Amino acid sequence: METDKFINTTFAGCKIIEKLGQGGMGAVYKAHNAGLDKIVCIKMLSTELARESRNVEFFLREARSAAKLDHPNIVQIYHFGQENGQYFIIMSYVEGKSLADIISEGGPLPVSEATRIIVDILEALEHAHSKSIVHRDIKPQNILISKDGQIKLVDFGLARSITEEKQLTIAGELVGTAYFMSPEQGLAQKVDHRADLYSTGATYYYILMGQYPFEGKTSLEVIHKHITETLPNIALRKPEIPLWVSKVIETLMRKKPQDRYQTAGDAVDDILKNVSAPRKRADGSERTLNIPSITEKIKEEEPEPGEPETPDGIVIDRYSIEEQVAKPKQEAKAEPAAKPSKPVKIRSDVSINFMKLAGHIALTTAVLACFLTAGVLPSNLTRAMGPIFSNPLSSALLILLGMAGFVWALVLKPFKFTGFYAAAAVLLMFFSYLGGTIVEYPPDISGIFARIYHTILLTLANLAAKDNLIIYSVFFYFIGSKLSLKKAWTSKFPGFLISAAGIACAYAYFRLPAQDTGNAAFLIASVLLFGAGMAAGVMQKEFSFIWNPYLLFLASNASIALFLSLPQIEVIKIHKIKEDRTNVEKLRKEDYAKKLQGIQASEENYIPEYDSEGRPIEKPKTKINVNQEIKPTPENELKNQAVKEYLRYNVFKFRENAGKSGGYLLISLFLLLLLNVNFFEEIIYFYKKVRYLE
């Protein structure tokens, strides 16, 4: 390899001994520095990356950032610069392993060892932050542990000074590692020292649990979970971990920077308060740890006693989990009209009509129950049609009973078959079935009635869940628009309030924690469209396709969705641009290497030619041209891809969350309400019409 030429040579006053590894920026060597008379580490920027000034500045910024720091837990920089066109950094050599390797080989660390490591890292960050240096890439791979237990924070390649004016990162460019990235980094926002605290909390979680706080199939999915999802409960996953540790990690990893510890020192004080340990050794010496995976290999020497683990005396049963208790809304029942003074047709009699309403409620509820039961039938298949294929007879019977209930309900209706009613009924059957099929049942729940009971409880427990807000938004929009068209103000005013509640639900659903909002024009448009919808509800006297509360309130909801979605789409687009540019550069390098290999092969097989006087004819050197056909994907195309990916993600998110929170059954309950409200309106309309004719 090209970098092997440095081995056993003298470079920048150092005798290079061996190559330690190859990283993203270049190679790392072990060497002996004659001036210092000690073993050092030399990091060299790769020749290819050195061709771009931005890469050189990134590389040298690491040296400048770390050189400002003087702390026992931060790798020491001795020298950096350029020699013979090769950029280098000479730093202290740590003989040991990275924290990532230790976890990979030996699994999660005990609480005492993990906590001591995190305290040292936080103290190192406290020093760096005091010099206005933000690391921006805290992760186990960048934490080294020497054989004598010393902790060293390395790789300040992404670090930057909070006060520096020159920004090397392109606006909106993501920096950091997805598994440990703070929400503000994932949203490509401006970050400060509190982003390091979030990454430290994610590292603390990882070395205790042996798994990442959030996982996914792609980096984008992981980043999105850091931004939107709640941190998994450590106490439930690993009850032996003290509760104060869970609280520290939860505080470090809060979504909004202002909700975290405000300094690394605050976090250290909180931790040491729980372990009853001093803040710093009196002599200022480095803290040493007894890490079994490393120290056992050098146990021929007298072992250094480790610090005792502080007993916490915590009983896990005392841990309380906040439960959201959703109080079901009680629908106000309209008072029946007074009985007419003279007999009317039996079909318009108040008592008979309300008996029909009660019968209709019972029938539509039975339809829901039949399809829900069909969905909860045991199945070995994971797909939605699993219960039907696994239990065809039971499923067919339940579906037929449900269809019969629907037909019976139609018989009771004054206007019989209508398009709206039929569509709502079909959706009721569909979502009732899905409500039983998609739910993930615990292994100990196998009976049909137990599954139904579990599904109902799950839905009720998640009535106030954020994942279900989009369902409320859709139904509030529909009901509010419908009421806005009524003649009476007693209907219009509640309709406007319900429509506004629907827009608020849409805002809360699409809004991400710590998110910068989008173009204010969409917010203004939403307000104006909502006002136009209210005006249409007040002024409209005949049907209009445009001047219509349904259309205007829908446009208002769409404007809110765009207002909050466009910044997220922009983040995805920036991520795709970065990946596309990286891929183009890779393809160009491969093309260059192939052409160079072909030229070298032709030169090896080249037969010299001579002129008439016997002088050799010099062949002109072949110029290697970069393949101009390898071009970055146009930004418009990448933006379209980002929009599609965002829509696919939200559809997937809704499907997944609706199964976990009982959302499909909640939709069924709303449809059940709509069907019976529609039936009630028809009865009232028919009753008034008959009375008028009589």
pLDDT digits (tens, 9 = 90+) for 492-515: 888 899 999 999 998 888 887 766
353 closest CA partner among 371, 334, 373 = 334
Give all strands of the β-sheet with 26-33 in edge-to-edge order. 10-11, 14-22, 26-33, 38-45, 86-92, 77-83
Lowest mean pLDDT among 263-272, 294-303, 441-450: 294-303
Query: Global pTM?
Result: 0.54
Q: Which residues are catalytic?
A: 137
Q: Any bridge partners for residue 134, and if so which?
A: 160
337 closest CA partner among 40, 690, 20 = 690
Write out the two tokens for 10: 């003298």
DSSP string of 371-401, one letter each residue? HHHHHHS--S--STTHHHHHSHHHHHHHHHH
pLDDT at position 254: 93
Most confident of 31-45, 112-126, 408-422, 504-518: 112-126
Q: Cα–Cα distance between 179 and 218 in angstroms, integer? A: 10
Q: What tens digit of pLDDT does each residue of 665-689 get?
A: 999 999 999 999 888 888 777 666 5
The answer on pLDDT for 347 being more than 70 is no
Q: Kindly give, in sequence order, each residue whose CB lies less than 8 Å from that of residue 669, ignoring residues fewer than 6 positions away.
A: 368, 459
179 burial level (CB within 10 Å; 0-12, 13-18, 19+): buried
Burial 123-162 (b: 16+ CB within 10 A, else e): bbbbbbbeeebbbbbbbbbbbbbbebbbbbbbbbbbbbee
Question: Rg (Cα) of the chain, in Å, rounded?
Answer: 34
pLDDT at position 11: 85
> Which class does domain 2-92 fall in?
alpha beta
pLDDT band at 351 (very low <50, low <70, confident <90, very high): low
Element counts in the chain: helices (H) and strands (E): 21, 11
Write out the two tokens for 576: 């795709």
Torsional sign, CA 118, 124, 129, 132: negative
Domain range summary for the chain, segments of one domain joined by +? 2-92, 96-296, 344-462+662-694
Q: How much of the chain is helix, strand and coil, in % rounded to 5?
A: 55, 10, 35
398 closest CA partner among 416, 373, 423 = 373
Lowest mean pLDDT among 386-390, 435-439, 440-444, 491-495: 440-444
pLDDT band at 110 (very low <50, low <70, confident <90, very high): very high
Say which residue, 28 or 160, is predicted with more confidence: 28
How many CA atoms lie less than 13 Å away from 575 in the CB half-sphere? 27
Q: Is 603 helix (H, G, I), strand (E, B) or coil?
A: helix
* For the chain, percent of residues with pLDDT exceeding 70: 78
The answer on pLDDT for 369 being more than 80 is yes
CB 292, CB 153: distance < 8 Å: no
| Parallel, antiparallel or unpaired: strands 77-83 and 14-22 | unpaired
pLDDT band at 583 (very low <50, low <70, confident <90, very high): confident
Say which residue, 68 or 645, is predicted with more confidence: 645
Q: Cα–Cα distance between 69 and 131 in angstroms, integer? A: 7
Task: Write the secondary structure of 445-488 as one string of H (helix), E (strand) and C (coil).
Answer: CCCHHHHHHHHHHHHHHCCCCHHHHHHHHHHHHHHHHHHHCCCC
pLDDT at position 350: 59
pLDDT at position 571: 86
pLDDT at position 482: 85
Q: What tens digit of pLDDT does each residue of 540-576 get?
A: 766 666 788 888 889 998 898 888 888 888 888 888 8
Number of other CB atoms surrounding residue 413 within 10 Å: 18
The answer on pLDDT for 291 being more than 80 is no
Say which residue, 141 or 591, is predicted with more confidence: 141
* For the chain, percent of residues with pLDDT exceeding 90: 21
Q: Cα–Cα distance between 339 and 465 in angstroms, integer? A: 44
Q: Cα–Cα distance between 267 and 195 in angstroms, integer? A: 13
| Average per-residue pLDDT for the chain | 78
Q: Cα–Cα distance between 344 and 361 in angstroms, integer? A: 25
Say which residue, 298 or 23, is predicted with more confidence: 23
pLDDT at position 10: 87
Domain 96-296 annotated CATH 1.10.510.10: yes
pLDDT band at 203 (very low <50, low <70, confident <90, very high): very high
